[in-house]
Structure 1
Amino acid sequence: MIGVTLSALASGGLLAATTAPSTAAPTTPTTAATPATTWTVRDPAHSALTARLALDPAGELRLAVTRDGAPVLAPGRLGLRTDRHDLTTGLRLVDREDRTVHDTYRMTTGKELRRSATARETTFAFRGADGARLGVVVRVSDDGVAYRYVLDERGPVTVTGEASAFEVPKDAKAWVQPYATSYENERTETTAGAANEAEPQECAGDTCSFGYPALFETGGTYVLLTEADVDGRYSGSHLDHKDGGSAYSVALADDAPVTSPGPLATPWRTAIVGGLDTLVGSTLVDDLAPPSRVADTSWIRPGTDDWSWLSDTSSPGDLDRQRDFVDYAAAHGLEYTLVDAGWKASWVPELVRYARARGVDVILWFDWADLRTQAQRDAWFAKIKAWGVVGVKVDYMYSDSQSTFQWYDAILRDTAERHLMIDFHGATIPRGLQRTWPQVMSVEGVRGEENGQNPARDVFLAFTRNIVGSMDYTPTWFSRPNRQNSLAHELALPVVYESGWTSLGDNPEGFAAQPVAERYLEQLPTAWDETRLVSGGPGRTAGGERQAVLARRSGDRWFVGGILAGAGATMKAPLGFLGKGTWRLETIADHEGQLRRTVRTVTAKDTLAVPAVTDGGFTALACPVTKGRADCARPVTTAPATTLATDPASVTAEAGGKASFGATFTLPEGAALRDVRLTVDRGRLPAGWTVTGSDVRAASLPAGKELTGHWTVTVARDQPGGTVEVPVVATYAHPAGGNAPRVHVEEVVRVSVPLHGTLYASDQPFLAESNGYGPVERDQSNGEAGGQDGKPLTIGGTVYAKGLGVNAPGQVRIDLQGRCTRFEAHVGVDDETSGRGSVTFTVLGDDERPLATTGVLRGGEAAVSLTADVTGVHTLTLTADDGGDGKNYDHADWGLARLTCAD
């Protein structure tokens, strides 16, 4: 039966579930050719929300929504067009199927970790004029209405567009964002009919585009429009609005068709409906998403990171400055340090070792161009996982296209398999992906703190963008020059906004100047058991200001954040959310340009009143009053300083030979360590290497006592020359206990294998590298700005399987150990420049001594052979310089660059 087929497809969603499906009441199909032309679907309790689906005489579908009998959304068009069928008109009902959907699930992030959702769902089956079939699935819960289309055709299905539209009263208040793929435009308060007057705008004639989520208020009811359950089988969408009209129509990304392998279930067109408290607490977008595809989530850990880019833009390229941020995170119990654009592969492993020994994990920023292909992701993820990096921040996607969502699918699978957490920056908004892929810690999709400050924007976001999923706003930069809000406002932002990873924007010195804030941030979770709207809204109060006060619970403690936009006012927070008993309430507010903390005892019957300065705010922390509890703060337990020494630190071994070494782990002072293990990380050794020697363990390691181990490695017989780092690792239970991960202390023994035979330069580690555009590439051309995005090295039509791809001016340095006698390569400008570009090539020995050089070589010319005598050279430098006309198109290839070394 068509109803059964479509219903099963609808419940499956766009992403195949890997866990048990939602439970549902028995279905109740109707007979074919039902004469009714209007059908209703009510929320499970039949208490407030009703969706009315109507079919007019022309066979066109419209959906309306009422709340408590009052209209919220007027009848809006539904329908779908494919390359073969027009399913927007001439429709007739042939079947319907009803069920109650109940779902319980657990999140790793979000406003509520344990979820329970119940909805009433009806699948309507229609036939078009040409006999084609269309399913419309309408789901109503106590916090909103959603619908999607399903097509049970086999084989590929190409959707050319939707007739979907939400009809909003033209005089409804509106808080909308002109559409941009970055989602970084400002939001504007306007009306639904006049929204096109907002600037800047993405408009074509009298039609303008708006991004999700879009908020409207009519008759005291709020409606937040968005979409849910989007993946690479479809594209994202946005809303188009004709000037002065009431319809907000769904437009596919880039107005481009999408092709699904079929059968097809489209994303959910979603309206979160109710009072502001309902919207803030809504989990509807996640409820509509497919279940988690990650069975074991024990490696996923929300937390706070100190992030240097905002306050110290150049610091991600400075190892010593990054150590300062690691030290700050360690001292204040922050879980992570995020190293943004500018980091160097040459020192990141050292930084990771430094951080992990202090109980801090490292997150690395990536340009998505470096992770665009499967080969790029495989190479980078294997490398950074071996370094000990636990997660990535990926930037600059800026697209809602189907191909970009297919890339999201791929990187989400890859990070889940590698046990790497991920934050999407420069990204689209979340559409439920944190339920399906719980390693997603946050998503930008917002005009955040890095784009300047706007207190009104801050309030708007509490009732729009942050409702639909974690928001990477990068808040809390106290020392910002010309700051546009108060200290307390800045401190409140990471409470008001939910983000699985919260990236704090100030530097260690800026935080140290605000000790009251430091103490609060040390306590702040980033995932919550419960979230409540306490007071406020996006509109102006009678006093002319805007306010938002949210309370979030973690365990038995409530964290409260309040922000204000406008003139100073008293911010009021009814404390009914606290529940029974007496509570200790610690409040932080602005006082004479500083932060001041006050403490009082309250009950749920009380109302907190905080005088706020212009564009100010406050934070609070509440905990039950119990015997022996002095305050609400919990101790910050940090990893102690330890020492791990290897003996020797470096050793030489021939291919097939052996090298022995020892290691000693010591706690100089402090309480004894528990469950200590000293070992060699065998999983990170090259193929063919073996280790003998046992792990050393201690149930307890008191201060001053040494834990010592001895091992011997056997080098693989086919191991090429060079240096291999053998990781020696000591781990122990974190003194904080609970779910804190084990502390990882690591040093490396450098095993030097003498260079021998014929070697390719692209297989050797670089002592240093620089490049005029993007990274130096191994065994491929320079390509574009991303890593590993080049093509086969090709000069004058000849392809070289091995070599280096450089963009002049570019340079690499290689350690020859004084064991090689000859360097040779075929050099020239890669054919990918289409005959453009000009380069000179130079080979340098120790002390920058020239050994060989070329004249100016130009694009389209044949390769030139370049050879050099490198006898006795320890540091070989290969340099490509521009030919005097700038670096554009100067893609310099070192084809078959190889070395002849001692046997």
Structure 2
Amino acid sequence: MVNTDRHGKKLRKDTSNGRKIVDEAEESNHLPITRRSVLQGAAALGPVAGIASIDEFSRPAAATSDNREPVSIASPDESIEATVELGPSTDLNDDLPSGQIASLTVDYDETTVIEPSPLGITTYMGQFVTSLSLENQHVETVTQEYETIGGDESGPQTLHARIGLLTFGSPNGVMQLELAVSNEGVAYRYHLPGEGHVLVDKEVSAFQIPEGSTAWLHEFANNYEGLWEEKDVESAGGNFAFPCLFEVDDETYTLVTEANVNGSYCASHLAAYAPPENGESEPRPGIKDDQDEIVPGNEEFDYDENSTLFELRFAGTYGLPQVVDTTLPLATPWRVAIVGDLPTVVESDLVAALSDPSEVEDTSWIKPGIVNWSWWSDGDSPRDFETQKEYVDYAAEQGWEYTLVDRGWRREWMPDLVEYANERDVGIIAWMVWYDLDTETKRERLLSQLKSWGVSGIKIDYMNADRQDRMQWYDDILEATAKHELLVNFHGSTLPKGRRRTWPHLLTSEAVRGAESYGWEEMPPSHNLILPYTRNVVGPMDYTPVTLSSRYEDAERAAETTRGHELALSVVFQSDLQHLADSVESYRSYPVAEQFLSEVAAVWDETIFIDGYPGEEITVARCDGTQWFIGHISAGDRHTTKIPLSFLPDDQQYNIIISSDTPSTSSLHSRTQVSTADATISVSVPENGGFVAQLSPRD
């Protein structure tokens, strides 16, 4: 529908068909790999394996290269350039030992967004960090078609990128670096060829952020429910969960995260050195450590005292980092940097594009939708059969697809509730705790029972770990639920890392401090205004929005954002199962909101970022069939926002219903107008307010 964005740029989505590959040749010059092991199970390694495929990418050809020269790969539109260079370690960081080390630099439109950053991986059969030599390189251009269910743009997608495979030799054998450069950003991962058992103790992967950058970060926790805050990059310091957003120049951003994490590896996060405060001579407690030593016990390899270097950290237990126990050939998860302006970041689908293709052949049973939920307003209500019937009745009345029955439901009445709901075209989603599904026997017994009752999906809670064994559990439960055709919502979960492409019935994940925290944790309005630029970029987000009432009589949080702000979260926040958290009574008492919520969608054909800035405001437009929905939220003073409608098709009039706060902010009102693509709508927004608009084509 739309050919240009608000800056007049061509849309970044490539709609060409088929697959185009250039530079075809034979692989050659494979390096021998040494036989080395310090632990049981290590095997003799064979010749270099081909590139691990992204769907049907062909194996690359190798060509000799002068390894003293940097290798630069540009995106198809040439706006992004990634450069890998071998050089003396002292050029990269004074704390590294002498020797050749590889680094990655990323530039966007002549602005360096990632300064030279170390690359490498260490295993118990040897380290692949120093003493590297570039033996082979190959670059090809690939256009790949794939499809997703849900998200900002549901349906056919295209990844158009240049893919490089760089083969490095070292005294310990071969490491390959796969580098993908698309119009949305840069990603890389390591390949260790061969066969047999291998233990990976760390990566020295890191992102050197330019000084003077602004960062939006939240402290790492296994449930990813930290409070998002804006920080100066030099003084941030700490352990930070993915994704991390950095503004390195005016209208130039990079969002750092990871993709395609599965049971062969653990999940990761970032850590940055915290410089001393208030004239102290030591760094702040709990930040300086030796986790980034290439060889355990060798302090020379420690480069913690660089406050703008964000280093990769493996998941751990009780403060001890994970050792990844896996097999060869190994392809690690992708380390990803989405690069560009804010529209590029907000609209990006790069995390899904880099992940494994779907394992589900028949997806006809996977149906996203709106869900109502009684637990937020009454924590005891899931125990009561009659209350759940009331929520089913209201979902049917509103045209919503599902009712979620949370913790406390009873086996004796659940089959009757499912039958009652299905008669009204409402599906039931049932809460479960993860350890009731932690073995194949438990999964088969419980999932078979739920399916026999007619349950549509499950909400699984309390995983709260990023270790490799928990990543394997995610793979196992998604395979089992796909077999039984049950939708999945993960709570107390890891961050989305692209699994929704591989397992499209995974419709949402929590991994956010959302509405369930209202009343007992700090929830400044600015937190909501950072999420669309960070957490929601990497996958559907189960914030459980649109709470128009206060959960507790003494909860101050409910007064910080207006009803208009809360209503707009149904558009601004994307979740393929959009759980609307307030009570039936609350929604009935706000008829303007009730009417809008009966029309709004959960998944979208197209999403356009219109305007905004992290922590301050955002306006997005989302398309559902022939209708458009606009959501605007802000954190800060009263203002008037003007929204150009240039994203609409030309020569078409639209009926527009704008729903916003009344002057007192105690209720909502609506107004209507008729407009076309050359018009602008103007709305007065109160402090910490917001509004929605529904645009329907006139006959």
TM-score (norm 2): 0.84
Matches within 5 A, 1:336-735: 336-452=402-518, 453-480=523-550, 481=553, 482=555, 483=558, 484-539=560-615, 546-581=616-651, 582-591=653-662, 592=664, 593-626=666-699
Matches within 5 A, 1:867-886: none
Aligned residue type for 1:608: I
2:163 matched to 1:121? yes
What residue number does 1:39 align with? 71
SS state of the match for residue 381, structure 1? helix
1:401-436 CA deviation, whole Å, 9 max, x = no partner? 000001001001000111011000100110000001
SS state of the match for residue 262, structure 1? strand
What is the alpha-carbon distance in structure 2 between the residues aligned to residue 304 and residue 116 of structure 1? 27
SS state of the match for residue 576, structure 1? coil
What is the alpha-carbon distance in structure 2 between the residues aligned to residue 294 and residue 420 of structure 1? 12
SS state of the match for residue 139, structure 2? strand
What residue number does 1:246 align with? 308
Structure 1 residue 477: Cα displacement: 1.3
Contact map agreement 1:227 1:270 (CA 8 A) in 2 = yes
1:502-552 CA deviation, whole Å, 9 max, x = no partner? 11111111110111111111111111111111111115xxxxxx1111111
Aligned residue type for 1:111: D
What is the alpha-carbon distance in structure 1 between the residues aligned to residue 138 and residue 53 of structure 2? 12
Contact map agreement 1:157 1:263 (CA 8 A) in 2 = no
Aligned residue type for 1:567: D
Structure 1 residue 607: Cα displacement: 2.2
1:195-224 CA deviation, whole Å, 9 max, x = no partner? 12xxxxxxxxxxx21000010001121110
What is the alpha-carbon distance in structure 2 between the residues aligned to residue 474 and residue 7 of structure 1? 45
Contact map agreement 2:631 2:691 (CA 8 A) in 1 = yes
Contact map agreement 2:536 2:574 (CA 8 A) in 1 = yes
Matches within 5 A, 1:11-50: 11=53, 21-22=55-56, 27-31=60-64, 34-46=66-78, 48-50=79-81
1:837-887 CA deviation, whole Å, 9 max, x = no partner? xxxxxxxxxxxxxxxxxxxxxxxxxxxxxxxxxxxxxxxxxxxxxxxxxxx
Structure 1 residue 23: Cα displacement: 5.2
What residue number does 2:240 align with? 210
Aligned residue type for 1:246: T
From the two aligned structures, give the one with the greater strand fraction: 1
Structure 2: gaps of 5 or more residues: 1-26, 31-46, 89-98, 276-306
SS state of the match for residue 456, structure 1? helix
* % identity of equivalent residues: 39
What residue number does 1:82 align with? 123
Structure 1 residue 68: Cα displacement: 1.0
Contact map agreement 1:300 1:421 (CA 8 A) in 2 = yes
Aligned residue type for 2:585: E
Bigger relative contact order, structure 1 or 2 (CA pairs below 8 A, ≥6 apart): 2
Matches within 5 A, 1:765-780: none
2:101 matched to 1:60? yes
Contact map agreement 1:535 1:572 (CA 8 A) in 2 = no
Pick from 39, 42, 52 the counterpart of residue 10 of structure 1. Answer: 52
SS state of the match for residue 234, structure 2? coil
What residue number does 1:642 align with? none
What residue number does 2:11 align with? none
SS state of the match for residue 683, structure 2? strand
Contact map agreement 2:48 2:174 (CA 8 A) in 1 = no
What is the alpha-carbon distance in structure 2 between the residues aligned to residue 569 and residue 470 of structure 1? 29
What is the alpha-carbon distance in structure 1 between the residues aligned to residue 53 and residue 680 of structure 2? 44
Matches within 5 A, 1:167-246: 167-196=208-237, 208-220=238-250, 221-244=252-275, 245-246=307-308
TM-score (norm 1): 0.65
What residue number does 2:289 align with? none
What is the alpha-carbon distance in structure 1 between the residues aligned to residue 48 and residue 488 of structure 2? 34
Structure 1: gaps of 5 or more residues: 13-20, 197-207, 540-545, 627-903
What is the alpha-carbon distance in structure 1 between the residues aligned to residue 100 and residue 649 of structure 2? 53
Matches within 5 A, 1:750-789: none
2:186 matched to 1:145? yes
2:354 matched to 1:281? no
Contact map agreement 1:159 1:257 (CA 8 A) in 2 = yes
Structure 1 residue 28: Cα displacement: 4.9
What is the alpha-carbon distance in structure 2 between the residues aligned to residue 96 and residue 530 of structure 1? 38
Contact map agreement 1:6 1:125 (CA 8 A) in 2 = no
What is the alpha-carbon distance in structure 2 between the residues aligned to residue 584 and residue 262 of structure 1? 59
Matches within 5 A, 1:150-161: 150-161=191-202
Structure 1 residue 129: Cα displacement: 2.1
What residue number does 1:300 align with? 366
Structure 1 residue 319: Cα displacement: 0.5
* Structure 1 pair 514–3 and aligned structure 2 pair: CA distance change class (3 A): farther
Pick from 257, 263, 286 the counterpart of residue 329 of structure 2. Answer: 263
Structure 1 residue 8: Cα displacement: 3.6
Aligned residue type for 2:383: G
What is the alpha-carbon distance in structure 1 between the residues aligned to residue 29 and residue 506 of structure 2? 35
What residue number does 2:302 align with? none
Structure 1 residue 3: Cα displacement: 7.9
Structure 1 residue 623: Cα displacement: 2.1
* Structure 1 pair 119–320 and aligned structure 2 pair: CA distance change class (3 A): same
Contact map agreement 1:502 1:526 (CA 8 A) in 2 = yes
SS state of the match for residue 540, structure 2? coil
What is the alpha-carbon distance in structure 1 between the residues aligned to residue 681 and residue 57 of structure 2? 42
**Greater shift after overlay, 77-86 or 586-595?**
586-595
Structure 1 residue 252: Cα displacement: 0.6
Aligned residue type for 2:174: R
What is the total number of aligned residue pairs between the two structures?
Answer: 597
What is the alpha-carbon distance in structure 2 between the residues aligned to residue 433 and residue 488 of structure 1? 33
What is the alpha-carbon distance in structure 1 between the residues aligned to residue 649 and residue 242 of structure 2? 35
Larger radius of gyration: 1
SS state of the match for residue 51, structure 2? helix
Structure 1 residue 10: Cα displacement: 2.6
1:737-764 CA deviation, whole Å, 9 max, x = no partner? xxxxxxxxxxxxxxxxxxxxxxxxxxxx
Contact map agreement 2:153 2:607 (CA 8 A) in 1 = yes
Pick from 70, 86, 98 the counterpart of residue 139 of structure 2. Answer: 98
Aligned residue type for 1:605: D
What is the alpha-carbon distance in structure 2 between the residues aligned to residue 285 and residue 8 of structure 1? 23
Structure 1 residue 35: Cα displacement: 3.7
Aligned residue type for 1:216: F
Structure 1 residue 27: Cα displacement: 4.7
